[in-house]
Chain A
């Protein structure tokens, strides 16, 4: 008999949800984590949208270790000295059933793994999976670990081993990996007293703020973010890898420049760096995704590039949790009917296609490329902010210039051709569906 029906590699949000779903279906599940505890290798830029947990962990908000409920969602466009912010607030988001939360991933992921253990999964930490095992026919039937006598056999392996997914690569599910599909996220966790954060961000109690930023990344394509935890602020930058490498500017220098922006500096004044962190993000969405199933294995979460970086929407943990849950359900059903072939496991891909997981990604597949394009990154922030600056600047005794004239002049000043603006606008409109 094999060591388990289902082996899940990686106890992040995808892995723990896969383990919960498979264990609830009555399967024997081993959940393997290479860190000393689940979440210890994980970092993000930061909001969890846990709606999908309603199904898996009813009333999750009563026990989940969240920092603050996001009641203010801002999108900020930064030029060298200006800032244009669109800010939406709803205090209803701070009440059950909630919308999004900030959380420390080491806390949140560890909590989610405990739900898997409660469902009957066996959690094994401090164990690195080093490769796949295959039977004589080539079907994957287990994993090799770095423990002595560490081979573990199973009917199905669910690879939730993160953005670098050596398992998906070893299984041949990625044809090629282009660095242009990835960004580097770097983040500072900055300590300030809770009441100072409340005052600066206009919130109370456990209300929180998430600010996503376009521009302000020192000419390296990407973006920035600022969000509130209870007594820390997280501030970071997301940087397109080839551009970062070509720019000759180091990640911590880009963060320092972002922190010094006149719209950001007052928010973090006096704050001390408590923890510096970095992680790579699969940024390109649908176009970079691997084949999701093979004989004896399925892939979920960041390992399957299921991270949505679509401008105004920046989500990942929810896609990881949902894909993991579906992977666990499908794996359990495949074991039950004693057919773990790729054909049988294709029910997983069908499920992703039928739900938000791939429907959102397919609908928005043109957006990540547009958002990271040179024009959107290098020219539009200055263009947009200078238009707004001129609209609101009062130059009496000069009469107000017409809006069309301002747009035309600033567009030319920014070096944007009208045809390009129309084309990008059309791509954006169509892309956002």
Chain B
């Protein structure tokens, strides 16, 4: 079978631009809390790959840096997490968080 060159004839965007297309009404209280100590013992790091908002960032000392602000509230992170109690997940305060418009 002949190989056809991949077609990328649309404007490329950075991840920041991608997330910037969604509206987040940010509350000062974090609705997701990640226990960095538990994460230090995790070698698989499923959340880092799977979180669609890319909110889990590995640090050089083996921990996880987490940021709740641009969260889609999907639940992927706690579902794929193998470490009991590493991710405490709840919904943001009423009226806050992700606001979809054309989904």
* Chain A residues within CB distance 8 Å of chain B: 34-36, 39-44, 81-82, 104-106, 125-128, 130, 145-147, 163-164, 166, 177, 179, 182, 184, 186-187, 189-190, 229, 232, 241-242, 244-252, 256, 259-262, 265-266, 268-280, 386, 389
Contact = CB atoms under 8 A, between A and B. Distances in A.
A248 B49 contact: yes
Contacts, number: 157
How many chain B residues sit at the interface, stated as a range, is: 35 or more
Given A42-B103, A163-B75, A279-B74, A82 B1 contact: yes
A208 to B, nearest CB: 15
B38 to A, nearest CB: 17
B79 A182 contact: yes
A266 B6 CA distance: 11
A145 B94 contact: yes
A184 to B, nearest CB: 5
A229 B102 contact: yes
A262 to B, nearest CB: 5
A259 B99 contact: no
Contacts of B30: none
A179 B78 CA distance: 9
Given A241-B76, A389-B1, A106 B6 contact: no
Nearest to A281: B74
Interface of B: 1-4, 6-11, 13, 15, 17-19, 21-22, 25, 44, 46-47, 49-50, 52-54, 72-76, 79-80, 90-95, 97-103
A187 B103 contact: yes
Contacts of A189: 102-103
A128 B80 contact: no
A265 B72 contact: no
B80 A179 contact: yes
Given A36-B99, A280-B79, A386-B1, 12 more contacts: A34-B92, A40-B98, A41-B100, A43-B103, A81-B3, A105-B100, A177-B79, A241-B50, A244-B80, A251-B50, A276-B22, A279-B72
Nearest to A232: B102
A104 B103 contact: yes
A245 B80 contact: yes
B79 A179 contact: yes
Contacts of B15: 252
Q: Which of B10, B76, B94, B98 has the most chain A CB atoms closer than 10 A to its own CB?
A: B94
A125 B13 CA distance: 34
A414 to B, nearest CB: 13
A251 B8 contact: no
A41 B92 CA distance: 11
Contacts of A274: 21, 102
Nearest to A39: B100
B93 A128 contact: yes
A98 B32 CA distance: 42
B75 A40 contact: no
Contact of B94 (A43, A146, A272, A275): A146
